[in-house]
Structure 1
Amino acid sequence: MASAQPNEDTAIRPFRADIPEEALVELRRRIAATRWPDQETVPDQSQGIQLANIKPLVEYWGTGYDWRKAEAKLNALPQFMTRIDGIDIHFIHVRSPHPNALPLIMTHGWPGSVFELLKTVGPLTDPPAHGGGAQDAFDLVLPSMPGYGFSGKPTDTGWGPDRIARAWAELMKRLGYTRYVAQGGDWGSPVSSAMARRAPTGVLGIHINLPATIPPEVDQALATGGPVPAGLSDKERATFDELSAYAMMGNRSYAVMMGTRPQTIGFAITDTPAGLAAWMLGHPGFATWTYSSSDPDKTPDEVLDNITLYWLTNTATSAARLYWENKSNILSATAEKTVEIALPVAITVFPGEVYRAPETWARRAYHKLVYFHEVDRGGHFAAWEQPELFSAELRAAFRSLR
């Protein structure tokens, strides 16, 4: 399927976020009318998000939070729309002030959005202002995935990582970029990997921070509860145990529900703001950063910017359908066809990620691994949590591809 439909308007149009005030009034009204569930009967999150954690956040959302500040963050950056494969794609495009900047397209995840990437704009486009060198500067393209944020919602099936990858290649072509790199974590990882696997003209390589490195025998043992595969090193065994514990704790239950019944979930999280917040905070990476972050600059407003974007654009259901579209295990090297990637691949492992990929697995999965580094800070939403460190990793990872 081509990324641009015949006779499709390929114009790139300026965009500015401007939510009607009545939508914000309605949001606050619905929050005030929240009917809260009983308190959980356990002292941890094994039954789901804890009432004591989420209730103050939602109450603040309805009384003290100001969406207009979030809009200002977006509108301070150049935003655009263009129609690709029948869908309006919203994207931020920031050109570096430095010559010979390397174009970089970055893809967000769920329950994230372009908000999770905004702190990296300065460090990536203007490295000298953030302890780097001008030779490592990037032109930055930050699209909202179809069904997310201000992008259009698919009305047909098939919008999985491969189709999004084709759309991103078309977007970079429209912007006039003939050589560029791609980056992604969470859903951005399979999207970026699909770009590398397809290798459209211009893509030089990718960086991912949620790599699909799990070998087939390990994936099988985890799926069936079978015996631990023989021959694992101490580090590989530690990762196997980490993945086993992750599965046993039910941390993937949100993905199972959205992967099988996104429409059913949508009825619940589209009608109630508190329900939407609870569902999104059920993501282990999002919840961990929200409640356990060491980032001194993180505020409740930053978390609510992201949740409010989903609410105001009514994209809770359309975003969830991405899980239904993608039937594979995005951590499995076999499912993600990593051996088909012939372009350079760079990986950064953050300690708070859902699993810490061993370098041995990474080199087995990606045959052209050009950069592998384990850092000491950051988690699943690394660009959000540690933007300076994350940006430094991208500078180092792509240096050899300039």
Structure 2
Amino acid sequence: MCLLLSLLVAVLVVVVVVRLYGRSTAQTATLPIGDGWWTQAAKAFPEDETIRPFTVTFDPNVLQDLHGRLDRTRLSEPLENSRFHYGFNTTFLKTVLHYWRHEYDWKKQVEELNKYPHFKTRIEGLDVHFVHVKPAQPTSQCHIRPLLMLHGWPGSFFEFYKILPLLTTPRQVRDNRMEAFEVICPSIPGYGFSDAPQKRGFNTANAARVFYKLMTRLGHNKFYVQGGDWGSAIGQNMAQMVPGHLYGLHLNFFHNGQGLRSWLSLLLGQYLPSLFGLTQIDVQRLFPFMPHFRTLFCETGYMHIQATKPDTAGSAVNDSPAGLAAYILEKFSTWTNPAYRDLKDGGLSEKYTLEELITNVMIYWTTNSITSSMRLYKETMGKGLNLPGKDVPVTVPTGLTVFPNELTYAPKAWVKSHFHNIVSYSYQPRGGHFAAFEEPVLLAEDVWKFVRKAEALPSFH
């Protein structure tokens, strides 16, 4: 009994010290914005700031080569009743590959991709691709807000195609006023139609600076940012670099970043939740902890590979369309819902169609970009988990939304010392990692609600 009491007193002392230390050392510094140049050619002339229209093209030669490779695919047989517990089940992969080879219409999907306006502009030596969708309503009749939406891996700008009309279509709000978003969806350098960096070191902070330059080049001195996965990290870095240029930041993926406090919460929070500021919902989502840890352990092997040897794995999947499809689509299975590992098709038909899943894969295949996309892990995480801006707080108005099947869960009590101005922290009834792709209505509504709350703040201007 004495031992238990001593342990509880020690924990209480540690928690108090952690809280006081956090308050006394709270940083207000911003993340240095810096500069960069990412091509091998020297920067001999001023950067070309022209905004150029871009069209996704259909190349019959690329399609012919793809079909030849699909015809020569060699697969191993899966273990009996293994479903998706060993990765992408090759029995179902045969179904996917047959569809890709014989039914999927890339020419039709190129037309679908081009239904929104695409552009490119040169930033720090790289051609940066972006989709730019403006409301049809004239600005004199509609209040329009600029919104930068950032994708992650293994997604692309295509993830946002279903949410774009939900944000850019004007809706009537306060005082019968019409409001809408003007949405910019760029491809991260090294992904899709954006150039890949040719020099080492391009991490999320560099991507944040590039996209900030993109927004100012488009005439937006102040704007909103929304992101998940890498888009969340890039958005946070941008908020840390140029907080005065963001109206607000909305994230559907975020980490706790609390170190000792979060570990103590995991050890004792189930029994002493109020001591750690945990709510009943937090306790339900965090405990028992080991099943969550096992899921996270099973789903992050790719991260270790890509943060250490991305070019090795990249060489394999870049040369094999079957390997690329298995590697990417496995994430759309278990990151959408870990329970989908128990299904023969990995649950891929639950939220998506094969057509849209293969279109996302085709963006990687036709641009030869899977290896360069994987390098972002090494450049950002290759020196450990000290991500850019880890110790710099986010002070802009922030909206955080939790989808129940997301890979990680961070209670508000954990994140509020990093996000100093949380305007909204909401829970969604369903959905996982690829929120805009699988639950566009839920995500769009949460963005709208966050913006209304942010603009109701006395400090908003």
The normalised TM-score by structure 1 is 0.89
Alignment of 1:271 with 2:271, yes or no, is: no
1:349 paired residue number: 402
Q: Structure 1 residues 19, 338: closer, same or farther in 2, change over 3 A?
A: farther
Could you tell me how far 1:72 is from its partner in structure 2?
1.1
- Does the Cα contact within 8 Å between 1:106 and 1:142 map onto a contact in 2? yes
Alignment of 1:147 with 2:190, yes or no, is: yes
**Mapping 1:214-229, distance limit 5 Å:** 214-217=257-260, 228=267
Alignment of 1:103 with 2:156, yes or no, is: no
- Does the Cα contact within 8 Å between 1:30 and 1:273 map onto a contact in 2? yes
Q: Which runs of 5+ in 1 are unaligned?
A: none
C-alpha separation in 2, matches of 1:219 and 1:23: 49
Could you tell me how far 1:341 is from its partner in structure 2?
1.3
Q: Structure 1 residues 204, 338: closer, same or farther in 2, change over 3 A?
A: farther
Q: C-alpha deviations, 1:163-206, integer Å up to 9, x for none?
A: 00001110000100122110100110000000111125521110
Identical aligned pairs, as a percentage? 34
| Paired residue secondary structure (1:93) | strand
Alignment of 1:391 with 2:444, yes or no, is: yes
The range that moved more, 23-32 or 348-357, is: 348-357
Q: Structure 1 residues 351, 127: closer, same or farther in 2, change over 3 A?
A: farther
| Paired residue secondary structure (2:415) | helix
Match of 2:110 among 50, 71, 77: 71
C-alpha separation in 2, matches of 1:107 and 1:329: 24
- Does the Cα contact within 8 Å between 1:90 and 1:144 map onto a contact in 2? yes
| Paired residue secondary structure (2:184) | strand
C-alpha separation in 2, matches of 1:292 and 1:214: 31
| Paired residue secondary structure (1:323) | helix
- Does the Cα contact within 8 Å between 1:117 and 1:383 map onto a contact in 2? yes
1:161 paired residue number: 204
Alignment of 1:285 with 2:306, yes or no, is: no
Q: Structure 1 residues 80, 113: closer, same or farther in 2, change over 3 A?
A: same
2:79 paired residue number: 40
Could you tell me how far 1:311 is from its partner in structure 2?
0.6
- Does the Cα contact within 8 Å between 1:269 and 1:276 map onto a contact in 2? yes
2:15 paired residue number: none
The range that moved more, 180-189 or 391-400, is: 391-400
- Does the Cα contact within 8 Å between 1:345 and 1:369 map onto a contact in 2? yes
2:294 paired residue number: 245
One-letter amino acid of the structure 2 residue matched with residue 391 of structure 1: A
- Does the Cα contact within 8 Å between 1:213 and 1:333 map onto a contact in 2? no
2:363 paired residue number: 309
**Mapping 1:3-402, distance limit 5 Å:** 7-40=46-79, 43-98=82-137, 99=139, 100-128=143-171, 135-199=178-242, 201-217=244-260, 228=267, 231-232=272-273, 233=278, 235-237=281-283, 238-239=285-286, 241=289, 243-248=292-297, 250-283=298-331, 284-285=334-335, 291-292=346-347, 298-327=352-381, 337=390, 340-402=393-455
- Does the Cα contact within 8 Å between 1:119 and 1:384 map onto a contact in 2? yes
- Does the Cα contact within 8 Å between 1:333 and 1:365 map onto a contact in 2? no
One-letter amino acid of the structure 1 residue matched with residue 267 of structure 2: V
One-letter amino acid of the structure 2 residue matched with residue 340 of structure 1: P
- Does the Cα contact within 8 Å between 1:350 and 1:380 map onto a contact in 2? yes
| Paired residue secondary structure (1:373) | strand
C-alpha separation in 1, matches of 2:336 and 2:101: 21
The normalised TM-score by structure 2 is 0.79
- Does the Cα contact within 8 Å between 1:96 and 1:138 map onto a contact in 2? yes
One-letter amino acid of the structure 2 residue matched with residue 265 of structure 1: A
One-letter amino acid of the structure 1 residue matched with residue 390 of structure 2: K
C-alpha separation in 2, matches of 1:210 and 1:303: 21
Could you tell me how far 1:389 is from its partner in structure 2?
1.5
Aligned length: 393
- Does the Cα contact within 8 Å between 2:380 and 2:388 map onto a contact in 1? no
The range that moved more, 165-174 or 284-293, is: 284-293
Could you tell me how far 1:41 is from its partner in structure 2?
5.2
- Does the Cα contact within 8 Å between 2:337 and 2:432 map onto a contact in 1? no
| Paired residue secondary structure (1:340) | coil
Q: Structure 1 residues 202, 335: closer, same or farther in 2, change over 3 A?
A: closer
Which portions of structure 1, spanning 4 or more consecutive aligned residues, are displaced by more than 3 angstroms? Answer: 3-6, 133-136, 218-222, 229-238, 286-291, 293-296, 332-336
Q: Structure 1 residues 2, 319: closer, same or farther in 2, change over 3 A?
A: same
Q: C-alpha deviations, 1:58-80, integer Å up to 9, x for none?
A: 12111111112221122111110
Could you tell me how far 1:363 is from its partner in structure 2?
2.5
Could you tell me how far 1:267 is from its partner in structure 2?
1.2
| Paired residue secondary structure (1:305) | helix
One-letter amino acid of the structure 2 residue matched with residue 292 of structure 1: G
Could you tell me how far 1:334 is from its partner in structure 2?
8.5
Could you tell me how far 1:335 is from its partner in structure 2?
7.4
Decide which structure has the larger Cα Rg and report it. 2
Could you tell me how far 1:218 is from its partner in structure 2?
6.2
Pairwise CA RMSD of aligned residues?
Answer: 2.8
The range that moved more, 348-357 or 159-168, is: 348-357
